[in-house]
C-alpha cells in the first residue's frame, strides 16, 4: 500500500465534524479518498470538492484532491467498501433510553462487510463503550463477508479532535492511539497512521485499551469540570472569586482546576461517562464518582437559572426580558449539540420567565429553540433591549468588561455570567453582577 503514490484508497464512513477531517488528513498524505454518508447534502458537497462541514483548512484539500481525481463521495457504503483498502468508521455513537445507541455503527458495518475483501483493514474511530469493536463490529464483518479476522484487519483508534481545529488535531496536536483486535491489525494500522500523525502513534495492547482510554480522557474532563463547578459555587457563597483560587492552586503542577460554567455540552463529554457507567454495571460495578460528577454538571443550568431568579427578585424587576448569550455548546464554534443553553432556557421558562431571547453569532436558526417558543438572533442589537443578560457560552465576543456591557444600554440591570468570562470592573448604580464562581456585586 503506497500512501505516497496515492495507491491506497481510504473510505471514511460518516463525513461529519470528525470524518470529514479524517478524510482530509488521508488525502493530505496522498491517499485516494471516498467519503460515505447517508446525508445526500454532504455527499453532494464533497463531490463538488467542498467541505461537508464548517471546519477550517478542508476546502483546499478537497478541491485539490477532486481536481486530481483522488476524491469522490457516495451514500453507497457497499460500493465504497468494494473500492477501498482501508475503511474508517466515524458515525455517531449516542445514548438512548439509558443505554448506548450504536445503530449507526452496526448499519455501516453491514455495508462495509458486503464489500469487504481479503487484505482490507477496518478501523473504528467513533467513541464507543469498551468491547464494541470486538463484540459488535467483528461478528457483523465476519458473518456478512464470510471472511475471518486475519483475512482482514480490524483496529480501534479514537478521535481526539476539538471542533474548529479538527484537522490540526489529527495531524499535529496529539499522538494517535491504536489498538488492534489482533497483532497484525494493530501493526498495520500503526504503520499507516504513523504517516498521518506528526505526533506519532501510541500502540496499546489491544482495541479494548484504546476504547477505554478515549472514554477515560472524557471522564477525566467531566469529573474535573464537576469539581470546578462545586468549588466555584462554594467560593461564591463565601464571597471569594473561584478564578483567583484556581489560578493560585494551578501554580503547582499537581493541580489542574478546570473552569466552572452553565454546564457541559457537545457530543463527547456528556456521553462518554454514560458509556462507562453502563459498561461498569454490566460487570456489577458502580462508577460512583463518575455518576456523581455527571449529576453535578447536569445540575448547572438550574444553578445559573436560580442566580437569574435571585437577581431579578433582589432588583425588583417586573416581567423582565432576559437575553441569553450563546447557544453553541462551546465558545467560538457553531455547534448546539447537547448545549446546556437548552436546559437553561427550560429552567427559566419553568420559573415563569417567558420573555426570552437567545443570541449566538455562529448559529442563525435552531428548530429546538423554536419548538420551545424562544427566538434566536445573531446580532447583539436585541440584547440592548433586555433587562437581564445571561452568558451561557464562552464566545470570545462576550469577553468584555462589565461596565462596558452596562454602558451599552440603560435597560440592562442584571448580568449573570454563566462562564465567569467577563472582566469585572465597575458596577453602575442600580445594577448587579454575579458569576458561577464569583460573588454578587450590587450597586
Ligand X SMILES: NC(=O)c1ccc[n+]([C@@H]2O[C@H](COP(=O)([O-])OP(=O)(O)OC[C@H]3O[C@@H](n4cnc5c(N)ncnc54)[C@H](O)[C@@H]3O)[C@@H](O)[C@H]2O)c1
Of 195, 198, 192, 156, the closest CA to residue 173 belongs to 198
H-type alpha helices, 135-241: 138-145, 166-168, 183-196, 207-238
Question: Which of ligand X, ligand UD9, none does residue 42 bind (CB under 5 to 8 Å by kind)?
Answer: ligand X
Q: Are 179 and 209 in contact (CB under 8 A)?
A: yes
Q: Are 374 and 355 in contact (CB under 8 A)?
A: no
The single residue among 52, 92, 265, 437 that binds ligand UD9, judged by CB under 6 A, is 265
Question: Which of ligand UD9, ligand X, none does residue 218 bind (CB under 5 to 8 Å by kind)?
Answer: ligand UD9
The C-alpha atoms of residue 287 and residue 272 are separated, in whole angstroms, by 13
Q: Does 274 bind ligand UD9 (CB under 6 A)?
A: no
Displacement of CA 130 from its chain's centroid (Å): 19
Chain residue whose CB lies nearest ligand UD9? 266
Nearer CB in complex with ligand UD9: 72/174: 174
Q: Does 269 bind ligand UD9 (CB under 6 A)?
A: yes
Q: Give me the torsion for CA of 309, 312, 318, 321, rounded to 10°.
A: -80
Q: Which of residues 113-142 bind ligand X (CB under 6 A)?
A: 126-127
- The residue whose grid cell reads 458502580 is 286
Q: Does 226 bind ligand UD9 (CB under 6 A)?
A: no
| Residue 6, beta-bridge partner list | none
Query: Which window, 33-41, 62-70, 276-284, 357-365, contacts ligand X (CB under 6 A)?
Result: 33-41
Q: Does 228 bind ligand X (CB under 6 A)?
A: no
Q: Are 184 and 93 in contact (CB under 8 A)?
A: no
CB of 217 to ligand UD9, least distance (A): 5
Nearer CB in complex with ligand UD9: 190/341: 341
CB of 163 to ligand X, least distance (A): 5
Q: Which of residues 300-329 bind ligand UD9 (CB under 6 A)?
A: 329
Q: Does 40 bind ligand X (CB under 6 A)?
A: no
Tell me, yes or no, if 57 is annotated catalytic. no
Q: Are 369 and 375 in contact (CB under 8 A)?
A: yes
Nearer CB in complex with ligand X: 261/311: 261
Q: Give me the torsion for CA of 373, 378, 381, 387, rounded to 10°.
A: 40
Of 169, 3, 195, 15, the closest CA to residue 88 belongs to 15
Q: Write the interaction track for ligand X spanning residues 321-360; mark x where CB under 6 A is met and - where it is not.
A: ----------------------------------------
Which run of H or of E encompasses 100? strand 99-101
The single residue among 14, 49, 186, 270 that binds ligand X, judged by CB under 6 A, is 14
Nearer CB in complex with ligand UD9: 152/398: 398
Query: Which window, 21-29, 141-149, 221-229, 422-430, contacts ligand UD9 (CB under 6 A)?
Result: 221-229
Nearer CB in complex with ligand X: 279/413: 279
SS3 152: strand
Nearer CB in complex with ligand UD9: 293/376: 293
What is the grid cell recorded at 132? 464494541
Q: Does 178 bind ligand X (CB under 6 A)?
A: no
The C-alpha atoms of residue 162 and residue 413 are separated, in whole angstroms, by 36
Q: Does 266 bind ligand UD9 (CB under 6 A)?
A: yes
Tell me, yes or no, if 214 is annotated catalytic. yes
Q: Sign (positive/negative) of CA torsion 200, 205, 210, 213?
A: negative
The C-alpha atoms of residue 130 and residue 335 are separated, in whole angstroms, by 27
Q: Sign (positive/negative) of CA torsion 32, 38, 40, 41?
A: negative
Q: Does 156 bind ligand X (CB under 6 A)?
A: no
Q: Does 93 bind ligand X (CB under 6 A)?
A: yes
The C-alpha atoms of residue 89 and residue 107 are separated, in whole angstroms, by 11
Site for ligand X, rule CB under 6 A: 13-19, 36-39, 42, 90-93, 104, 107-108, 126-127, 159, 161-163, 267-268
Site for ligand UD9, rule CB under 6 A: 160-163, 169, 217-218, 221, 225, 228, 258-259, 261, 264-266, 268-269, 329-330
- Give me the active site residues, please: 214, 268
Amino acid at each position: 500500500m503506497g500512501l505516497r503514490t496515492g495507491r491506497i484508497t481510504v473510505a471514511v464512513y460518516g463525513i461529519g465534524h470528525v470524518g470529514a477531517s479524517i478524510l482530509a488528513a488521508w488525502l493530505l498524505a496522498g491517499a485516494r479518498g471516498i467519503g460515505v454518508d447517508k446525508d445526500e447534502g454532504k455527499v453532494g458537497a464533497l463531490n463538488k470538492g467542498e467541505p461537508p462541514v464548517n471546519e477550517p483548512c478542508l476546502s483546499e484539500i478537497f478541491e485539490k484532491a477532486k481536481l486530481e481525481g483522488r476524491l469522490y463521495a457516495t451514500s453507497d457504503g457497499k460500493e465504497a467498501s468494494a473500492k477501498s483498502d482501508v475503511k474508517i468508521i466515524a458515525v455517531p455513537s449516542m445514548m438512548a433510553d439509558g443505554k448506548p445507541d450504536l445503530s449507526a455503527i452496526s448499519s455501516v458495518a453491514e455495508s462495509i462487510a458486503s464489500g469487504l475483501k481479503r487484505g482490507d483493514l477496518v478501523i473504528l474511530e467513533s467513541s464507543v463503550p469498551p468491547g464494541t469493536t470486538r463484540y459488535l463490529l467483528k461478528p457483523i464483518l465476519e458473518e456478512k463477508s464470510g471472511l475471518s479476522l486475519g483475512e482482514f484487519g480490524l483496529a480501534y483508534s479514537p478521535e481526539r479532535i476539538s471542533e474548529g481545529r479538527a484537522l490540526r488535531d489529527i495531524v499535529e496536536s496529539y499522538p494517535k492511539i491504536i489498538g488492534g483486535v489482533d497483532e497484525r491489525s494493530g501493526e498495520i494500522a500503526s504503520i499507516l497512521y504513523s504517516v498521518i500523525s506528526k505526533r506519532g502513534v501510541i500502540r496499546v495492547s489491544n482495541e479494548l485499551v484504546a476504547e477505554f482510554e478515549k472514554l477515560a480522557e472524557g471522564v477525566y474532563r467531566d469529573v474535573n469540570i464537576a469539581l470546578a463547578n462545586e468549588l466555584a459555587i462554594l467560593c461564591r457563597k463565601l464571597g471569594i472569586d473561584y478564578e483567583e483560587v484556581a489560578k493560585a492552586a494551578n501554580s503547582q503542577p499537581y493541580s489542574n482546576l478546570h473552569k466552572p460554567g452553565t454546564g457541559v455540552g457537545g457530543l463527547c463529554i456528556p456521553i462518554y461517562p454514560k458509556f462507562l457507567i453502563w459498561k461498569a454495571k454490566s460487570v456489577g460495578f458502580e462508577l460512583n464518582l463518575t455518576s456523581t460528577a455527571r449529576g453535578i454538571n447536569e445540575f448547572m443550568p438550574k444553578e445559573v437559572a436560580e442566580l437569574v431568579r435571585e437577581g431579578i427578585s433582589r432588583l425588583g424587576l417586573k416581567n423582565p426580558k432576559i437575553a441569553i448569550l450563546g447557544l453553541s455548546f462551546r465558545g467560538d464554534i457553531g455547534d448546539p449539540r447537547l448545549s446546556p443553553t437548552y436546559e437553561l432556557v427550560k429552567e427559566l421558562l419553568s420559573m415563569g420567565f417567558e420573555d426570552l431571547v437567545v443570541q449566538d453569532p455562529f448559529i442563525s436558526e435552531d428548530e429546538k429553540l423554536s419548538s420551545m417558543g424562544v427566538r434566536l438572533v445573531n446580532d447583539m442589537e436585541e440584547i440592548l433591549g433586555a433587562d437581564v443578560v445571561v452568558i451561557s457560552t464562552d464566545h470570545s465576543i462576550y469577553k468584555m468588561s462589565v461596565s462596558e456591557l452596562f454602558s451599552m444600554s440603560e435597560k440592562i440591570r442584571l448580568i449573570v455570567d454563566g462562564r465567569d468570562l467577563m472582566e469585572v470592573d465597575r458596577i453602575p448604580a442600580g445594577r448587579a453582577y454575579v458569576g458561577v464562581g464569583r460573588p454578587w456585586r450590587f450597586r
